[in-house]
Copies of this chain bind each other. A is one copy, B any other.
Amino acid sequence: MSDGSMGRFYGVGVGPGDPELMTRKAERVLRAVDWIFHPAGTSGGTGLARRIVEPLGLAPAKFRPVSLCMSRDRGADRQAYRRAAEEIAAELRQGRSAAWITEGDPLFYSTFLHLYEELRRFPEVRIEIIPGVTSASAAAARAEVPIARLDEKVAVVPAAYGVERLQALLEEFATVFLLKVNGVFGRLLDELAALPRPARAVYLEEVGTPAERVIENLESLRGQELPYFSLVIVRGAREG
């Protein structure tokens, strides 16, 4: 894809886990670009994006892993993102094209956001963001839980930053997604038990992967070790 002009960069969401839930556009772009940068590392979630695109059968040499530690303190990874941004900008200047792949949607709790910040230091870089199916949509589909009807509101809350707000949120929002419930699951169970009106709650982990679990009896999970990609959908009292 080198014709002397500046190459293009794509932030590509590859969907929640099932390779078939990738968009046609993501597939086309990933086949066309020269380089595919992707998060890699040891902890929760890094490497998933790469596994999702595996069935496309792309040349392994096209992939450029970026090692991340994904600790809550993002300072540790800033250097890695900065270096990746520099490498990407250098490739684009050579007329080559590059993508960053991320599970789900690139703007929704994604590694892409960190890279995007670093890429802003290169205003000449032309960026196209390709949205993807989120884990929230995939989880609702799998559990057959309506997300929102015409007049309803939806809240998405990282559980670690809002589990204690559940009751208040359910006063206003028909559906509340609590993301990454590992770590605060015991507290979440207590919040659910204390709700003044019963709500439907469904736990899902690793949606769309072979390790997927969908569990309606949340109490059965009390005390268990839960994975990073775990969420709970809480649907208010208005219906079952």
Contacts and interface: CB of A to CB of B under 8 A. Distances in A.
Interface of A: 11, 13, 15-16, 18-25, 27-28, 72, 74, 105-109, 113, 116, 127, 129-134, 137-138, 140-142, 144-158, 160-162, 165, 172-173
A9 B52 CA distance: 26
A105 to B, nearest CB: 5
A190 to B, nearest CB: 20
B107 A137 contact: yes
Contacts of A129: 140-142, 144
Contacts of A22: 23-24
Contact of A107 (B28, B74, B146): B146
The winner among A108, A145, A152, A157 for most chain B CB atoms within 10 A is A108
Task: Specify how many copies of this chain sit in the oligomer.
Answer: 2
Contacts of A11: 141
A69 B150 CA distance: 14
Contacts of A21: 23-25, 130-131
A153 B109 CA distance: 10
Nearest to A161: B151
Smallest CB-CB A-B distances: 10 pairs: A20-B25, A131-B137, A129-B141, A131-B141, A154-B156, A107-B147, A108-B147, A107-B140, A105-B137, A20-B24
Secondary structure call for the A interface: mixed
Contact of A109 (B20, B72, B148, B158): B148
Contacts of A105: 133, 137, 140-141, 147
Given A150-B158, A156-B148, A156-B154, A141 B24 contact: no
A146 B116 CA distance: 10
Contacts of A138: 131
A199 B16 CA distance: 30
Given A15-B23, A21-B130, 19 more contacts: A23-B24, A24-B27, A105-B141, A106-B141, A107-B145, A107-B146, A108-B147, A116-B144, A116-B146, A127-B144, A131-B141, A133-B133, A134-B134, A134-B137, A148-B158, A152-B158, A153-B157, A154-B156, A155-B173
Contacts of A161: 151-153
9 contacts: A21-B25, A21-B130, A21-B131, A72-B150, A107-B145, A108-B154, A131-B138, A134-B134, A152-B158
